[in-house]
Amino acid sequence: MFGPTPEDAVLVRRDGPIAEIVLNRPTVLNAMNLAWVAGLGQAVSEVAAADGIEVVVVRGEGRSFCSGLDLTMMTEIGMPSEFYPLQEAAFSALENLDRLVIAQIHGYCLGGGLQLAIACDLRIASEDALFALPASREGLFPGMAVWRLPRLIGLGRAMRLAVSGEQASAAEALAMGLVDYVCPAEGFADAARAIVERYVAVPQTAARATKRLMRTAFERDFAAVYQESLGLLERCLGSPDVAAARQAWAHRQAGRHDGESWPG
């Protein structure tokens, strides 16, 4: 199932329970053209249809995550009419994917690259990463970052980034909640992989239920989320993960009564 997407602009690779969606235009710092947005949508569809995938990692090939709009495309033909709808459809598909999606960010994370990153559930950044939404300087607005970013970091900080177009370092991004982890640039891939594997180890029925409920927390009232949570709780309680946790708890209890130390 997994293979190249249009013009190989986006690749899908699998390593056991981890699927990688790889932005693959390294010679232009993974800048976004029509093949890129179409390929991203196709890649998400492929991952959604695959069995056994527990965590999805989105990363860029080469020296950067994504440098934003392909300015060659903009100079030669402008923005194709289908570009923005395809872009937002792909980003929304990532948000709604029933797997945890983690952005692995190094180098430039600009414009649409940052929009992609905040459509993911979590963000791991290299200490050399740079973040910005320069659309306003180009006479544009930063897509649906106008909706996603205030929910992530608050209205004031989001307004500052979106209107000023100024850059933020990885440390600044961490401080404002734009990213969740910052790792040294040297050995970044290995450090990021170790973090991803923590999330692979989480019981996935619980992780998917948590994502589903949290993704709608700002759009629905408490009662609606609570009602949906009842069915998801039943699903969790019936999962092998809960059965295994109960068995482990019983084993610890038995050990405690036999005089073993209780883990603190």
- Indicate which CATH number applies to the domain containing 71: 3.90.226.10
Where among 163, 184, 200 does a domain terminate? 200
For 7-45, what is each residue's pLDDT tens digit?
Answer: 699 999 999 999 999 999 999 999 999 999 999 999 999
Same domain, 162 and 248: no
Residue 1 lies in a domain: no
Identify whether residues 107 and 27 lie together within a single domain: yes
Residues of the chain with pLDDT under 50: 1, 3, 260-264
- Our count of domains for the chain comes to 2
Answer yes or no: do 125 and 220 share one domain: no
Copy the structure tokens of residue 26. 């390294």
What pLDDT shows up at residue 119? 98
Say if residue 16 is in the same domain as residue 103.
yes
**Residues 157-190: tens digit of each pLDDT:** 999 999 999 999 999 999 999 999 999 999 999 9
- Spatial CB neighbours of 5, under 8 Å, sequence gap ≥ 6: 11, 12, 35, 38, 39, 40, 42, 43
Alpha carbons 43 and 5: distance in angstroms, whole number: 7
192 and 213 together in one domain: no
- Residues 42, 153, single domain; the answer is yes
Enclosing domain of residue 24: 6-200
Q: Are residues 239 and 141 in the same domain?
A: no
What does the pLDDT read at residue 118?
A: 98
Check whether residue 137 and residue 183 sit in a common domain.
Answer: yes
In a domain, 263, yes or no: no
What is d(CA 143, CA 158) in angstroms, rounded to the nearest whole number?
13
Task: Judge if 189 and 110 occupy the same domain.
Answer: yes
Indicate if 114 and 141 belong to the same structural domain: yes
* Residue 227: C-alpha distances to residues 107, 217, 222, 233 (Å): 42, 13, 9, 10
Residue 262 lies in a domain: no
Residues 141 and 61 in one domain: yes
Is the Cβ–Cβ distance between 104 and 58 less than 8 Å? yes
**99 and 194: one domain?**
yes
Residue 176 has a pLDDT of 97
pLDDT of residue 244: 80
Is residue 129 a part of any domain in this protein?
A: yes
